[in-house]
Amino acid sequence: MGWMELREVVEDLKKKFPEDIEGEVFHEKKITKIVVRKERLMEIAKYLRDLHGFDHVKGVTGVDLVALKEGGGPYIEVIYHLGSIKNEKLVDVILNISIRLDREKPLTKSLYSIWPSVEYHEREVYEMFGVVFEDHPNLKKLLLPEYWMDTPPLRKDYKVPGRD
């Protein structure tokens, strides 16, 4: 239950935002990921919340795609894992919405105003990958000490001291 409905959501997104969907991965019962233009992330997120019932974010993931050259890479990818409690047809599935950010200056809008559940997840991605989320209500370090000034520790080019 839910995979057919999720497929319908993806098709609806592709029709509603044809110029803003940059990629798609859909493997039934495994993963559904849509890559969207970062400039339209807020609008697409509101659409998914208001029209399809995605009422919360289960997590936010950062990925350092330093070796990816296609499409103008390398990138920092930010993935929002969306869930729904109120839409019974989508309760058992997760929709992943992904954006790719410039690795040298990873900057995007926070989705806090749409889904407050992103607050701590965006803070972690900020801290571990260096992604700045504009309009986040409390964008400060969560796990590392405030004085941390080194490369974000989950970037591929981070060197652990003493492990050369």
Kindly give the pairing relationship between strand 21-27 and strand 75-83.
unpaired
State pLDDT tens for residues 63-76.
Answer: 999 887 776 678 99
Q: What pLDDT is stored for residue 71 in this prediction?
A: 67
Q: What pLDDT is stored for residue 164 in this prediction?
A: 66
At residue 81, what are phi and psi to the nearest 5 degrees?
-100, 105
Q: How far apart are CA 98 and CA 107, in angstroms?
A: 14
pLDDT at 101 over 60: yes
Average pLDDT on 93-112 reads 96
DSSP-H helix ranges across 61-161 = 119-129
How many C-beta atoms lie closer than 10 Å to residue 19's C-beta?
7
Q: What pLDDT is stored for residue 67 in this prediction?
A: 82
CATH of domain 3-134: 3.30.460.80
pLDDT at 1 over 60: no
Average pLDDT on 147-161 reads 89
Average pLDDT on 107-120 reads 97
pLDDT at 37 over 80: yes
**Percentage of the chain lying above the pLDDT 70 cut:** 96
- Cα dist from 24 to 35, 74, 104, 114, 146, whole Å: 6, 19, 25, 23, 37
Chain CA centroid to CA 157, Å? 21
Closest C-alpha among 77, 81, 162, 68 to residue 115:
81
Lowest mean pLDDT among 53-57, 155-159, 160-164: 160-164
Give the amino acid at 12: D
What does the domain layout of the chain look like in residue ranges? 3-134
Q: What is the mean pLDDT of the chain?
A: 93
Q: What pLDDT is stored for residue 144 in this prediction?
A: 92
Q: What pLDDT is stored for residue 106 in this prediction?
A: 97
SS3 content of the chain, % helix, strand, coil (to 5): 30, 30, 40
- Global pTM? 0.93
State pLDDT tens for residues 38-51.
Answer: 999 999 999 999 99
